[in-house]
Amino acid sequence: MPTLLSTQSHVVHGYVGNKAAAFPLQCLGWDVDCLNTVQFSNHTGYGKVVGDITPVDELLKITNHLLQNFKYNSFLTGYLPNKDSVEVICDNILNYKKNTKSNSSTIRPLWLLDPVMGDDGHIYVDPNVIPTYQKYVLSGYVDIITPNQFELQLLTNTEGKVLNTTDDLRSLIVTLHQKVPIIVITSTTTYNNNHKEDDKNKITCIASIRNNNGKLYKFQVPKINSYFTGVGDLFSAILLDRMWKLNYQNATADMLVKDFIKSINYVLNVIQKVLQTTIENRSQYIKTLLDQQGGEGAAKIGGDAKIMAEMELKIIESKDHYDNKENLIDYFVDVI
């Protein structure tokens, strides 16, 4: 059974951060150790939150002990609230990977770094986190990153620049590919402003793998008329599982591309099934509310605990979706 250290936020109530990632990974056969960078009562959408950020010295002691005494096949890093926590966690993982010896029968530890910094032009971490993330992304030890378009631009110092074309996006990805083998842009607006009216009703995901002549793989999933939290955390967890099982480090080029596309499509299918299960398990009151207010009604109301509780991902109820390869929808659109 592969082992994984997942370092991200924790909420006592609800499903974001480690609460969104750990159970699906366990269903997929992972032995998951969770290191919590914060412990909050619930996510911020509830309006009121109590809890604390894990002190840096405590993160350091725990991380040092774990990496000195236990073996990990993979690392998943999500929400890290400040510069010091990013440095403590990433330094330790980087040094662990440096010191891990590999041979033909051993897959090197896989590191998926989700640079959680913001979305839609808004930063929700301390700004000094940005250059810190840049340093580790460019270290050569991160295997996979999963930024949204805004985070991609923060990583490449192009925030505020409008990306109008495929080549605009490709240039940023190719730059990061000098150090990062796998890049998945979880959502981009580059393709929603232009070519097809139907694109406005879809979310575009762009995936890329290094040494593939700058080719990008475009996927689109239908937008769901609702409000969700924790989707990115779940996405990263399922993606890490697929990339580990793909064993990209030892795969041949031709087989890798084919299986890479299938793997990204699989991840998107899992996410869509979980979201649909979440919707199906809501009360009629919530369904009516979202219909009346354009799908974002709960977010606009804000602070209503009863409403927010029904917005939580149905992580447990979705247990049969995580490893279900039947009836997959093809979300792959094109090579661009």
pLDDT in tens, 160-179: 888 888 889 999 999 999 99
Which pLDDT score is estimated for 286? 81
Q: For the structural domain made of 3-335, what CATH number should be given?
A: 3.40.1190.20
Structure token digits, residue 85: 């926590």
DSSP per position, 287-299: HHHHHHTTT-HHH
Question: For the chain, how big is the Rg over CA atoms in Å?
Answer: 19
Task: Report the chain's mean pLDDT, rounded to a whole number.
Answer: 90
Grade residue 197 by pLDDT with cuts at 50, 70 and 90.
Answer: low
Which pLDDT score is estimated for 55? 97
Structure token digits, residue 162: 């409008």
In the chain, where are the structural domains located?
3-335
Q: How is residue 54 annotated by DSSP?
A: P
Q: What is the pLDDT of residues 211-242, one digit of tens each?
A: 888 899 999 999 988 889 999 999 999 999 99
Highest mean pLDDT among 46-50, 74-78, 95-99, 207-211: 74-78
Q: What is the pLDDT of residues 259-309, one digit of tens each?
A: 999 999 999 999 999 999 999 998 888 888 777 766 655 555 556 788 888
- The single residue listed with the structure tokens 């269903």 is 27
Q: What is the pTM of this model?
A: 0.93
Which pLDDT score is estimated for 259? 92
Structure token digits, residue 230: 């924790």
CA gap 32, 130 in Å, rounded: 28
Residue 191's Cβ-side half-sphere holds a number of Cα atoms within 13 Å equal to 25
CA gap 46, 183 in Å, rounded: 32
Which pLDDT score is estimated for 247? 82
Task: Catalogue the E-assigned strands of 194-296.
Answer: 202-209, 217-222
CA gap 52, 49 in Å, rounded: 10
CA gap 223, 235 in Å, rounded: 16
131-158 mean pLDDT: 96
Grade residue 13 by pLDDT with cuts at 50, 70 and 90.
Answer: very high
Lowest mean pLDDT, pick from 27-31, 63-67, 198-202, 283-287: 198-202
Which pLDDT score is estimated for 172? 95
Q: What is the pLDDT of residues 311-332, one digit of tens each?
A: 899 999 999 999 999 999 999 9
Alpha carbon of residue 112 to chain centroid:
8
Beta bridge partners of 31: 3
Grade residue 1 by pLDDT with cuts at 50, 70 and 90.
Answer: very high
